[in-house]
Chain A
């Protein structure tokens, strides 16, 4: 579904070259929910922008359903961390959700239908005529999610979407993402710096190294598919997985080799 192959991104800032991403390769199957964690400053956002076609990689490629991504692909939607800047303050909630559909050239009746459905799906059916800035932060991010859902993407990219909301809202939004994912069967790549969030949400967790970035480990989250804030987070398996990811991130920060590549380097 989504293939990232040998992705490298070097920023040329005058005389100084910064290699944000060295070599990233991973695959998402259709309908998967994969979380991407890494130490802060490891180029998560750069990676996401490359996948979303907003940045051109220095080398390597991103394939969406076998087609190479050169610009924003039509079957992909992005939810940004900065909901306040990503939603247009001059448009009402409903118009914000509708704008990408208008660009898609959908007939008005179908657009209305999708907007209503998407807002209902995120629990904001009655906020359609409000302006985004009249809503709380969590509600604004719900609008941004509704906009992505209404777009009917095959792949949904989420760039630390809940980093700027409070803990209780974040828990609600995490459950919302799981529920929408189950309902829509969309492929989700969820970027976060929050280890608990990554383990709680994902079927798999990709742990990145610190910059210049490579994939340090791919971890399958063998927790039951039905998850809830109370029991899943209390599960000993959840704690074990979280501790493992935490160790890997700590090791990545100190620049220690990952378990998978350690053997190679000694040999």
Chain B
């Protein structure tokens, strides 16, 4: 994480940011290399089962998986499952983010509250969300709320902990400046504390988005709540191995999209921040 390395808002004045930052040619080359690597992987996965190194029964070649994928996307039920997964993911992430930010700012801003909750947070945070699966089943059965419970629990801590760090990063000089110009407590939260914490919040949400997806799929897979995970389980039990791989590929693609999206949002909202504007020096 680049955020932990930053010197809290200070440091020497940076040179004017020159538009895009990194030279376009190098970025292009990196993208081509990445695509070439992916292509090689797909090719290997095509060849290995065909030459008989692994059994195509459990490890179908790329072309078979692609075929199954093409079949999936024409199936109405696939899109319903995808929608369910995205709903559980997005709703859970939203709840976790709002709760994490509100509670984080509150806890960090009130020293007594921070002392009071520190050990509790340290105790609850490491509990793996999947350990709550029995509880989720007891409470909600195979309902989408089971997914939500796990997603929210896992991603909430990611956001909360980052917010706690972020609020503590407020520069005393910036805060004194705001106070000396008569900014009220609320105005200082809005104009000093929140912008300072925002890079941390963004990191927290990006991490939470990835974790939320893992937990959404897990809940569907294990509990059987509706979604892509449940569809993977069905494909597996009905021995539709290529379909299973096709669905796994879809979850992987979802993960990539989630991460790309989160990074794009980060770049837009944090254009002023060293971690974004300093890309020249990377």
A27 within 8 A of B: no
Contacts of A53 in B (CB 8 A): 180
| B242 CB to nearest chain A CB (Å) | 50
Contact for A72 among B8, B181, B277, CB less than 8 A: B181
Report yes or no: B180 in contact with A72, Cβ–Cβ below 8 A.
Answer: yes
Contacts of B9 in A (CB 8 A): 84-85, 89
Report yes or no: B181 in contact with A99, Cβ–Cβ below 8 A.
Answer: yes
Cα-based distance from A52 to B180 in the complex (angstroms):
7
- How would residues 84 to 113 of chain A score, 1 for a CB under 8 Å from any chain B CB and 0 otherwise? 111011110000000110011000000000
Report yes or no: A104 in contact with B272, Cβ–Cβ below 8 A.
Answer: no
B17 within 8 A of A: yes
Contacts of A135 in B (CB 8 A): 13
B140 within 8 A of A: no
| A148 CB to nearest chain B CB (Å) | 9
Closest to A147 in B: B181
Closest to A80 in B: B173
A54 within 8 A of B: yes
Contact for A54 among B13, B171, B179, CB less than 8 A: B179
Contacts of A181 in B (CB 8 A): none
Closest to A100 in B: B181
Task: Decide yes or no: A100 and B183 within 8 Å by CB, A85-B9, A88-B192 being known contacts.
Answer: yes
Report yes or no: A134 in contact with B17, Cβ–Cβ below 8 A.
Answer: yes
Cα-based distance from A103 to B17 in the complex (angstroms):
30
B16 within 8 A of A: yes
Contacts of B176 in A (CB 8 A): 49, 54, 78, 80
Task: Decide yes or no: A88 and B179 within 8 Å by CB, A133-B13, A133-B277 being known contacts.
Answer: no
For the complex, count residues of B whose C-beta is within 8 A of A: 28
| A228 CB to nearest chain B CB (Å) | 28
A137 within 8 A of B: yes
Cα-based distance from A188 to B10 in the complex (angstroms):
27
Contacts of A238 in B (CB 8 A): none
Report yes or no: A86 in contact with B182, Cβ–Cβ below 8 A.
Answer: no
B11 within 8 A of A: yes
Name the interface residues of A10-52: CB closer than 8 Å to any CB of B: 49, 52
A77 within 8 A of B: yes
Contacts of A90 in B (CB 8 A): 195, 198, 272-273
Which of B10, B177, B191 has the largest number of chain A CB atoms within 10 A? B177
B112 within 8 A of A: no
Cα-based distance from A78 to B174 in the complex (angstroms):
12
Task: Decide yes or no: A86 and B16 within 8 Å by CB, A103-B181, A103-B182 being known contacts.
Answer: no
Known pairs A99-B191, A134-B16. 12 more at Cβ < 8 A? A54-B179, A72-B179, A78-B176, A85-B10, A85-B173, A86-B174, A88-B191, A89-B9, A89-B273, A100-B181, A133-B13, A133-B272
Q: Which 9 A-B pairs have the closest CB atoms?
A: A100-B181, A85-B173, A90-B195, A78-B180, A134-B16, A86-B177, A90-B272, A72-B180, A85-B171
